[in-house]
Chain A
């Protein structure tokens, strides 16, 4: 084993115990590494880090407050417009929409249908199942493509063909293949999510600098440890960003699919409410979709901030 120099300092100087570090016996200015900071400066640095983080937190609060103000402004404008137009079928007011939401949250619409929360849950379930499978497939594909050139050259054209296709175009085909249950809708989400995740994963893994992996190896990490804890970990923010993007696309697909080919879910609720000219309920449905989409995106964003500390704003 190497003679690791757990030596005392050669010149017998005390190692920095607490600021200020002692001067080297050879009278000179303290080396930058050891003590270019006096006690005051060091404590100022410590305070600086805390102050810096506090300032960032303040900026973040300001940002959220401004965003909330923007939404409130939008609601006010909407209410004013509705009051001026005075046609609840064309543009229901905020209060009418709120009433519709509260009323149908627990009551079925139409009478033989399902309550709003049930429809919301159905849509959510379809999204989550499809998203989970799509992400799994996409990330696995992406990892395989990044690892082996052959796989990459094989799968790339398939993805390039699939990606620009609107998943909706496949609905009639999926109904023929998978019937009219939940499966065609879940497969719909999968084929929307998987290509995006595959492309994102390849890009994220490719972006990890080779020297970062070499660095880990020279610190003593084994090959597998490096792959998991350095390469994949490093690609995680990119993968999570891909998830946010494909999640938005998934919502588009599922609502559109439910509009035309479903008897449950928020899309079908909106369709039926529209058939009966219950615009307030249409708005309520749209807003429910918006809230759910926002919540899921916020969840992913939270994971992203955990994975990538530099995004902590």
Chain B
């Protein structure tokens, strides 16, 4: 599976001219995640709600793992703990060997609503991450490089002509794609997606599945995808962590043996149905 370096003129996503040999970086991008005995209890006005108890999960680098479960099973809580938005009461979360302490650009997050900044054009939204990081003194990519990269990413997600459009001028699916481009520009090694397609209609959702699958094939970063939709979990995930129980935790982790690259049409295959049955059995057990 040698990488075919295209001859000069290939507009590949590395910016800055004909860069180094692509053969070097064949390992999947992204880091691994180790969730070890994580527990979280919410206290509000004297009432204690155990959101998570003794959750153990390991995600390999470059894997796409789905967290599947009904509302209230703690999957979003777990995702936010991995993101660093919430602190776990017990246990540790290691991302790439480092413990998580607060949100960072390394762990990008996508939400149910695109969360684009309405006062910025699509292009400026996409450039928000690098610019903010530059303010914080982190990355030193300079403007022409950033502009070229933004153009390339907008082309990749199919928003080439819409750099100057404002978020309210884009459709729902386009907004999600723009949010995706924005998250990628910040160069995370882990992408955390919290039911990102839940608010879309079924047809657009199918297209977004194809979109995500093709993007993931291209970039291969680690993704943890939260959903309550069995089909979505089976279609997207390498493995599905079924969550639930009382107190909530990971009930079972099921391998999805479907062949990659996958497409939305795979939902009609027999292997898909088998996997779906296995998962449903686990959910209802």
- Docked-complex contact A7 and B25, CB < 8 angstroms: yes
A26 to B108, CA, bound (A): 30
Q: Quick check: is A160 within 8 A (CB to CB) of the other chain?
A: no
Q: Which one of A52, A209, A215 contacts B109 once the chains associate, using CB atoms below 8 Å?
A: A215
- A230–B135 Cα gap in the complex (Å)? 14
**A24 (CB) vs chain B CBs: closest residue:** B214
Asked if B220 and A5 make an inter-chain contact with CB atoms under 8 angstroms apart, the answer reads yes
Cβ of B158 under 8 Å from chain A: yes
Partner of B177, one of A2, A33, A230: A33
Q: In the bound complex, do residue A220 and residue B160 qualify as a contact, i.e. CB atoms below 8 Å apart?
A: no
The number of inter-chain residue pairs (CB within 8 angstroms) is: 197
Chain A interface, number of residues (Cβ within 8 angstroms): 54
Distance, CA A270 to CA B210, complexed state (A): 70
Q: Which residues of B contact A43 (CB under 8 A)?
A: 161
* Overall SS of chain B's interface: loop
**Cβ of B36 under 8 Å from chain A:** no
Known A218-B83, A225-B136; contact A33-B111, beta-carbon cutoff 8 A: no
| Known contacts A14-B6, A31-B214, A215-B109, A6 near B14 by CB under 8 Å | yes
In the complex, chain A residues whose CB is within 8 Å of the CB of B29 = 2-5, 7
Are A33 and B157 in touch, CB under 8 angstroms? Answer: yes
Cβ 8 A contact of A49, one of B117, B129, B165, B177: B165
- Extra 9 A-B pairs, beta carbons < 8 Å, given A7-B218, A211-B115, A220-B132: A3-B31, A5-B30, A11-B217, A15-B155, A31-B214, A33-B210, A211-B113, A212-B117, A219-B183
- Give 25 A-B contacts (CB < 8 Å), ordered by A residue: A3-B25, A6-B14, A7-B14, A11-B217, A12-B6, A14-B11, A15-B11, A15-B152, A15-B155, A17-B11, A17-B155, A32-B158, A33-B158, A34-B211, A42-B160, A42-B161, A45-B161, A49-B164, A209-B115, A218-B186, A218-B188, A221-B133, A221-B135, A222-B132, A308-B119
B interface, CB within 8 angstroms of A: 3-6, 10-15, 19, 22, 25, 27-31, 83, 85, 96, 102-109, 111, 113, 115, 117-119, 128-130, 132-133, 135-136, 138-139, 152, 155-158, 160-162, 164-166, 168-169, 173, 177, 182-183, 186-189, 192, 207-208, 210-215, 217-221, 261, 263, 265
Chain A residues near B (Cβ < 8 Å):
2-12, 14-17, 19, 24, 26, 28, 31-37, 42-43, 45-46, 49, 52, 209, 211-212, 214-222, 225, 229-230, 233-234, 236, 307-310
